[in-house]
Amino acid sequence: MRKVIVLGAGLTGLSAAFHLRRYGVDPVVLEREEVVGGACRTLEQDGFAFDLTGHLLHLGREESRRLVTELGIARRLRSLARRAGIAVAGTVTPYPIQINTHRLPPAIRRECLLGALVAREQPEAPQSGPFADWALSRFGEGLCRLFFFPYNQKLFCAEARDFTAAWVGRFVPRPRLEDLVDGALGLFRQPVGYNATFLYPRQGGIRLLADTLAQHVPGLRLGSTVRRLHLRERALELASGETLGWETLIATVPLSHLCRMTDDLPPGPRAAATRLRAVAVVNLNLGVEGPPPRREHWLYVPEARFPFYRIGFPSNHGKVAPPGCHTLSVEVSVPAGTPAPPDVWGRCLDGLEELGLLRRERIATRLEARVDPGYVVFDAALESAVSTLREAFAAAGVRLAGRWASWKYSAMEDALLDGAKVAEEVAP
Ligand SMILES: Cc1cc2nc3c(=O)[nH]c(=O)nc-3n(C[C@H](O)[C@H](O)[C@H](O)COP(=O)(O)OP(=O)(O)OC[C@H]3O[C@@H](n4cnc5c(N)ncnc54)[C@H](O)[C@@H]3O)c2cc1C
């Protein structure tokens, strides 16, 4: 039987292993942590369940819905209609802002609507170019000034000219003319976008998905950190000193880390690895006494004076707190590999209080978490860098799969499907 190793037991690695078994292959799955799930983990503390960062499940494809049914967890997931907002200009307006300007002060609403109408007269700039040009051509000056520039600059820790719009795909809906007008008048009512509805476990947090998949993966080895790869020998070395050889290695760990741990990456790919840019997400989870302060599932916060770009209210979508309490999550972006600024959590608490979302004395517990890398920063050099690296690893039987190994912007559903796809490709 071919020796297949899966590196990482996040959703991609677990899905790959789950699907490989259908082809009669039982891979070894090496996971550094003592728990599965990667970015889709839930941590428990003082009776609260905190997802590492906000994670809501969108299943747009029949195959992934079938998988969830097959895993027997469909009834443990609640389907919810998204309630998301944008906290800006002293108010909260529903998401997406481009079709919900009606809650904004009249002068700003006018600026947004006029800008969007002027933009419609120009051709749309390509997504492969600077995000600033693409966003201006799609949404106009008002919406860019208010939301698209400050929000994305905060998220990607870079100027809007310094990254491309190559990631926007299904994530940023394009409004029709009548939707813009209805949105300014408060008439727009239809659900919009890939995440208009989502699923979330009724209780216990998002870990349900990974935990259930893991029950079908007998070759799982937790607490197994891979320290080095030797491509020529097709062998990897664990932190314990143990060495394992592969015929096929399915790598789901971040591509930047994979390059660092590879001893004999040729000079061309080694240079390509220096072009991978990303930000890390640091997340402050709070367990708080009392009911949630708002009805939304999450709020986007574009203004630069607040350190966070998003606030989540997980108690509005699942049972994750003891009776009489709720949870809040506050996400901040920092350049990958760098620590959060020392005063950041104090500033976050100040910001939450200013927005009327928290009273400090009600905090029952707090937990900081980090996903690094969190978001890939797209630029003109990225595509060729990733394809150079993909080829170099493929030559040694290493397949890159999932969000961070493929260095892309994608969701949990994609991770499940990426795992299924790579399993099919490497199966005998
Ligand atoms: C802030 C944020 C919010 C998100 N929100 C959503 C959302 O709401 N909905 C949604 O669908 N998706 C969301 N996503 C995307 C989702 O998290 C990813 O698509 C998915 O988790 C990718 O899974 P993966 O298995 O590819 O990677 P990972 O989850 O990173 O798995 C990789 C695994 O490899 C392990 N590993 C790393 N290094 C080593 C090593 N040296 N040795 C052994 N093991 C190692 C890690 O511990 C990890 O378990 C979000 C992502 C972020 C960053």
**So where are the chain's domains?**
4-40+204-276+380-426, 84-194, 278-376
| Placement of tokens 């002068």 in the chain | 107
Residue 272 predicted with pLDDT over 90:
yes
Q: Write down the ipTM of this complex.
A: 0.99
Q: With a cut of 80, say whether residue 235 has pLDDT above it.
A: yes
> Closest residue (by CA) to atom 20 of ligand 1?
412
The secondary element (H helix, E strand) that includes residue 287 is: strand 278-289
Cα torsion 288, 294, 296, 302 to 10°: value is -90
Q: Residue 104: enclosing H or E segment and its boundaries?
A: none
Q: Which CATH code for domain 4-40+204-276+380-426?
A: 3.50.50.60
Give the SS3 label for residue 117.
Answer: helix
Q: Which tokens sit at 21?
A: 């078994």
For atom 12 of ligand 1, the residue with the nearest CA is 411
Ligand 1, atom 31, lies closest to the CA of 10
pLDDT of 339-375, one tens digit each? Answer: 999 999 999 999 999 999 999 999 999 999 999 999 9
Q: How far is the CA of 38 from the centre of ligand 1 (A)?
A: 5
Which atom of ligand 1 lies nearest, measured to the CA of 15?
A: 25
Q: How far is the CA of 39 from the centre of ligand 1 (A)?
A: 4
| 189 alpha carbon – ligand 1 mean position (Å) | 33
Q: Hunting for tokens 């909260």 — which residue is that?
A: 92
The DSSP result for 188-253, as a single string, is: --S--STTSEEEEESBS-THHHHHHHHTT-TTEETT--EEEEETTTTEEEETTS-EEE-SEEEE-S
Q: What is the mean pLDDT of residues 40-50?
A: 98
Confidence of residue 174 (pLDDT cuts 50, 70, 90): confident
Bridge partners (DSSP) of residue 6 are: 29, 250
Cβ-contact 300, 84 below 8 angstroms: yes
Give ligand 1 pocket residues (Cβ under 6 A).
7-13, 30-33, 38-40, 53-58, 225-226, 252-253, 257, 281, 331, 371, 374, 402-404, 410-415
Q: How confident is the model at residue 169 (pLDDT cuts 50, 70, 90)?
A: confident
Residue identifier of the C-alpha nearest atom 5 of ligand 1: 55
Asked whether the predicted pLDDT for residue 1 surpasses 60, the reply is no
* Predicted pLDDT of residue 55: 96
Q: What is the pLDDT of residue 2?
A: 58
Same topology, domains 4-40+204-276+380-426 and 278-376? Answer is: no
Average pLDDT over residues 161-180: 85
Q: In ligand 1, which atom is closest to the CA atom of 225?
A: 42
Q: How far is the CA of 321 from the centre of ligand 1 (A)?
A: 24
CB atoms within 10 A of CB 4: 26
SS3 category, 66 = helix
Interval between CA 379 and ligand 1 midpoint (Å): 21
The residue type at 138: R
Give the CA count within 13 Å in the CB-facing half-sphere of 265.
Answer: 25
Q: Give the pLDDT band of residue 285 (cuts 50, 70, 90).
A: very high
- Give the pLDDT mean for 147-159: 98
- Beta-bridged to residue 248, according to DSSP, are 4
Q: Over range 167-177, report the average pLDDT.
A: 78
Question: In the predicted model, is pLDDT for residue 82 greater than 60?
Answer: yes
Mutational pocket test of ligand 1: of 6, 15, 30, 31, the residue with most ligand atoms within 8 Å of the beta carbon:
31
Is beta strand 28-30 parallel, antiparallel or unpaired with respect to 4-7? Answer: parallel
Distance 79 CA to ligand 1 centre (A): 22
Res 195: pLDDT: 75
pLDDT digit string (tens) for 388-424? 999 999 999 999 999 999 999 999 999 999 999 999 9
| Stretch among 143-152, 175-184, 231-240, 242-251 having the lowest mean pLDDT | 175-184
Atom of ligand 1 nearest to the CA of 371: 53
Tell me: pLDDT of 263 over 70. Answer: yes
Report CA-CA distances (Å) from 391 to 259, 387, 407, 417. Answer: 13, 6, 14, 21
Instruction: Determine the distance separating the centroid of ligand 1 and the alpha carbon of 188, expressed in angstroms.
Output: 35
Phi, psi at 158, each rounded to 5°? -155, 160
Comparing C-alpha atoms, which of 1, 6, 2 is closest to residue 249? Answer: 6
Q: Choose the residue to mutate in 55, 330, 413, 414 for probing ligand 1, maximizing ligand atoms within 8 Å of C-beta.
A: 55
Q: How far is the CA of 44 from the centre of ligand 1 (A)?
A: 18
Q: Which tens digits make up the pLDDT trace of 287-341?
A: 999 999 999 999 999 999 999 999 999 999 999 999 999 999 999 999 999 999 9
Look at residue 188 and tell me whether its pLDDT is greater than 80: no
How far is it, in rounded angstroms, from Cα 90 to Cα 191? 25
CATH homologous superfamily, domain 278-376: Protoporphyrinogen oxidase, mitochondrial; domain 2 (3.90.660.20)
- Confidence band, pLDDT 50/70/90 cuts, at residue 170: low
Mean pLDDT of the chain: 95
Mean predicted confidence (pLDDT) in 173-202: 84
State residue 168's pLDDT score: 86
User: 370's torsion region: left (phi>0), alpha (psi -120 to 50) or beta?
Assistant: beta
